Amino acid sequence: MAERGRPRKGAARLSREAIRAAALTVTEDEGVAAVGMRSVARRLGVDAKSLYHHVEGKDGLLDAVAEHVLAGIGLPEPVGVLEDDLRAFAWAFRRAALAHPQAATLVLTRQLPSAVALAPVEAVLSVLRKAGAAPEEAVHLLRSLLAMVIGSLLREAGAGPAFGVTDAEAIARREEELTGAGLAETAPFLARCDHEAEFAFAVDFATEAVAARLRR
Amino acid sequence: MAERGRPRKGAARLSREAIRAAALTVTEDEGVAAVGMRSVARRLGVDAKSLYHHVEGKDGLLDAVAEHVLAGIGLPEPVGVLEDDLRAFAWAFRRAALAHPQAATLVLTRQLPSAVALAPVEAVLSVLRKAGAAPEEAVHLLRSLLAMVIGSLLREAGAGPAFGVTDAEAIARREEELTGAGLAETAPFLARCDHEAEFAFAVDFATEAVAARLRR
DNA sequence: ACCTGAACACCGTTCAAGT
DNA sequence: ACCTGAACACCGTTCAAGT
């Protein structure tokens, strides 16, 4: 018998990894709002209830996706120059988060089990400590930097207030509105938002401030 | 006839404001996840479908709540000292967002119609311009500060990665974990997270960096 | 103008039953 | 050990009908 032991409907062998991969596919194809037990199960040719044997409900499923995206971060090797090293970590985080644009919001807004986030945290703290930060100060600086990075990426992921637009025709309209609202000088810059340039500015600004502080 | 013209079920006169207020109540009482057309309508003693005459679906409802919370910001009068003024704006934003703790996440993560956010933006830009920032620089700095404030508050609202806990008994356990993970020095500070102190540090850090930059 | 009955096409999750 | 049928208690939204 050719189909001995094979699941009836041609469903692939179910596993936590397969489910997480399918959830990520649904996220990127249809948006994070479309992710659910039923839609993910459909991708796998399986009944929604089967997923409960491998993940802890919908929340567990979303956590698994966020965890996986964050785990994809490629930690840079520190070179010993504080500014460069902090910058490198920030850009590595951005690269990991935006590797799956629709899923980015999950990494940014879900409370992640500390285990996955531990390696990056440890790396940044080590760099700060070596640059002369006291333990408590290092933690404060880490949290400040992380807040700025997350806030920036949240704006970029479209889940946060933008005060700016990228698409070309909308900018002109937006600029006119702002000009009419007493923001004539700043309107041209407020109307548009180049997310990458904005991220670069914020990261440079913050890392230089950290360096200046620790130099003192 | 006593009940001429009166709605059958004792429902209050329905209006956008009443609906928005009910939604805010549901949010604070049962969490933002519990907010829906049906739960809000139930509060008002009305059918869920009636809400569609006053708000644009569930998304419009949540936008209305976020908008209202942000509108509650009390804009401080600038005193002319850059650090003090920027700090005051940051704390005013925090106060408005956390006035309704459960709803805070809505202000932080929803793309708000610019109209409501315009007044605070204008105020901060004006302060930065008067301190000598060029128009483009002022916009970059505004966005950097806002990112840091939003990232910090998102952590505080429990919707972002925390790397820390507030409740007393959990801290010890957390600290032990972290110590065992090669973070012995920083563990005591990483294990706990005093959100207000953390916000204060980040805001002071950022505003002083802005001041130093513009002094140059 | 405003509200609702009926209806549609969905949800996440439990549990007992199957293999 | 893993999968599912039946079932439960929900969703948001449309539209035609009522007042």
Residue range B29-46, pLDDT digits in tens: 999 999 999 999 999 999
Smallest CA–C1' separation from A58: which nucleotide? C12
More confident residue, B141 or B165: B141
Q: Is the CB of A54 under 7 A from strand D?
A: yes
Query: pLDDT value at position A8?
Result: 42
Number of domains in chain A: 2
> What does the alpha-carbon distance between residue A42 and residue A61 come to, in Å, rounded to a whole number?
15
Distance CA B116, CA B134 (A): 25
Q: State which residue of chain B sits closest to A141, comparing Cα positions.
A: B202
Distances (CA, A) of B123 to A89, A186, A211, B90, B191: 33, 12, 29, 12, 37
In a domain, A138, yes or no: yes
Residues B86 and B66 grouped into a single domain: no
B5 pLDDT higher than 90: no
**Mean pLDDT, contiguous 10-residue spans, chain A (216 residues):** 35 83 97 96 95 96 96 97 98 98 96 86 97 98 98 88 76 90 92 95 98 95
Is the pLDDT at B8 greater than 50, yes or no?
no
Assign residue A133 the CATH number of its domain. 1.10.357.10
Q: Which pLDDT band holds residue B160 (cuts at 50, 70, 90)?
A: low
Does one domain contain both B108 and B205?
yes
Residues of A in contact with B121 (CB under 8 A): 163, 183, 190
In this prediction, residue B6 carries a pLDDT of 32
Examine the domain organization and report whether B138 and B189 are in the same domain. Answer: yes
Give the residue on B whose Cα is nearest the Cα of A209.
B209
Asked if the Cβ of residue A14 lies within 7 A of any atom of strand D, the reply is yes
What is d(CA B196, CA A38) in angstroms, rounded to the nearest whole number? Answer: 41
Residue A17 structural domain = 11-70
Q: Residue written as tokens 């940051």?
A: B90
* pLDDT for B158: 84
Same-domain pairing of B159 and B191: yes
| CA-to-C1' span, A57 to D6 (A) | 20
Q: Which of A109, A129, A190 lies at the smallest CB-CB distance from B160? A: A109
Q: Residue A9, CA: closest nucleotide via C1'?
A: D3
pLDDT at site A126: 97
Residues A49 and A127 in one domain: no
Q: In sequence order, what are the beta bridge partners of A165?
A: A192
List B192's β-bridge partners, or say none. Answer: B165
pLDDT(B7) > 50:
no
In this prediction, residue B190 carries a pLDDT of: 93
DSSP string, B17-78: HHHHHHHHHHHHHH-GGG--HHHHHHHHTS-GGGGGGTSSHHHHHHHHHHHHHHHT--PPPP
Q: A203: closest CA among A165, A156, A136, A164?
A: A156
Tell me the percentage of chain B whose pLDDT exceeds 90.
Answer: 81
B162 touches chain A (CB under 8 A): yes
- Does the beta-carbon distance from A163 to B114 stay under 8 Å? yes
Give the three-state DSSP class for B161.
coil
One domain for residues B113 and B63:
no
Cα–Cα dist B127/B117, whole Å: 16
How high is the pLDDT of residue A153?
97
Q: List strand residue ranges (DSSP E) for A54-195, in order.
A: none
In the A/B pair of chains, how many CB contacts fall below 8 A? Answer: 178
CATH of the domain at B17: 1.10.10.60
Angle between helices A135-156 and A114-130 (to 10 degrees): 120
Mean pLDDT (whole number) for B156-178: 82
Mean pLDDT, all residues of chain B = 91
B200–chain A Cβ distance below 8 A for any pair: no
pLDDT at position B115: 82
